């Protein structure tokens, strides 16, 4: 990202929570499967809040998203005053997650997951200002019982009266292929 005041941290699940400053990888004591992604994101935000006090916020993106880093840096600087914004914003009603979509990524194929009703930013990329981080940190139950991290984040922030703003920024998503998944 080319800015000395920012730190880019990769998040993975594992047996214990440990941060490796050389690789900039934060391993969390959370299973690294799609079903536990909400818990993993909650745990990461909690760790960052506790270990990086004074930050202006967190920009979260998926590992399969490609965006121009210079344009992203400019966008973050221009919009860091906003509490919650992202590349794509959607409204969804509570319901089941269809097996033709994201459920295919679940390890447990017997799971019949549901999600909350929320105005949210897609997980592809969204900003959380320091102002809203305490809402997320205290929402451990919501994240522990959710199956979609982006919808859960929107749900938690909506309860706190924070609504997402869509920021125009070109991005693409790499197809989830065995080669991409092998990078993890």
Measure the CA–CA gap between 45 and 155, rounded to whole angstroms.
16
Q: Is 22 exposed, middle or buried (0-12, 13-18, 19+ CB in 10 A)?
A: exposed
- pLDDT, one tens digit per residue, over 105-164 is 677 777 777 788 899 998 889 999 999 999 999 999 999 999 889 999 999 999 999 999
Cα–Cα nearest to 46, from 172, 116, 118, 142: 142
Question: Cα 141 to the chain's mean position, in Å?
Answer: 17
Average pLDDT over all residues of the chain: 89
pLDDT at 182 over 60: no
Predicted pLDDT at 108? 74
Q: Return the structure tokens found at 155.
A: 């749900």
User: Strand, coil or helix: what is 61?
Assistant: strand
Indicate the helix (H) or strand (E) that contains 178: helix 178-182
* pLDDT average, residue stretch 86-94: 91
Any idea which of 53-57, 94-98, 99-103, 142-146 has the lowest mean pLDDT? 99-103
Q: Name the residue among 121, 122, 113 with its Cα closest to residue 94.
A: 113
pLDDT at 18 over 90: yes
Q: Do 122 and 167 touch, CB atoms closer than 8 A?
A: no
Is the pTM higher than 0.75? yes
pLDDT at residue 1 in the model: 58
* Distance of alpha carbon 19 from alpha carbon 25, whole angstroms: 6
The answer, yes or no, to whether residue 5 has pLDDT greater than 50, is yes
Give the end-to-end CA distance of the chain in Å, rounded to a whole number. 21
Give the model's confidence band at 184: pLDDT under 50 very low, under 70 low, under 90 confident, else very high.
very low
Domain extent listing, the chain: 57-182
Q: Region 15-28: what's the mean pLDDT?
A: 95
Integer Cα distance of 148 and 77 in angstroms? 28
pLDDT value, residue 35: 86
Q: Would the pLDDT of 180 be above 60? A: no
């Amino acid at each position: 990202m080319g800015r000395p005041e920012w730190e880019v941290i990769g998040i993975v699940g594992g047996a214990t929570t440990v941060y490796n400053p050389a690789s900039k990888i934060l391993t969390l004591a959370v299973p690294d499967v799609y079903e536990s992604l909400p818990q993993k994101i909650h745990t990461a935000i909690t760790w960052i809040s506790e270990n990086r006090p004074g930050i202006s916020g967190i920009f979260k993106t998926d590992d399969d998203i490609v965006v121009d880093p210079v344009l992203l840096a400019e966008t973050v600087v221009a919009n860091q005053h906003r509490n919650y914004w992202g590349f794509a914003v959607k409204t969804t009603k509570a319901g089941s997650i269809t097996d033709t979509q994201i459920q295919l990524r679940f390890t447990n194929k017997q799971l019949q997951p549901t999600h909350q009703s929320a105005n949210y930013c897609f997980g592809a990329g969204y900003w959380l200002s320091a102002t809203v981080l305490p809402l997320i940190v205290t929402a451990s139950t919501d994240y522990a019982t959710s199956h979609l991290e982006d919808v859960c984040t929107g749900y938690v922030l909506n309860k706190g009266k924070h609504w997402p703003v869509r920021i125009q920024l070109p991005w693409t998503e790499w197809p989830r292929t065995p080669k991409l998944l092998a990078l993890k």
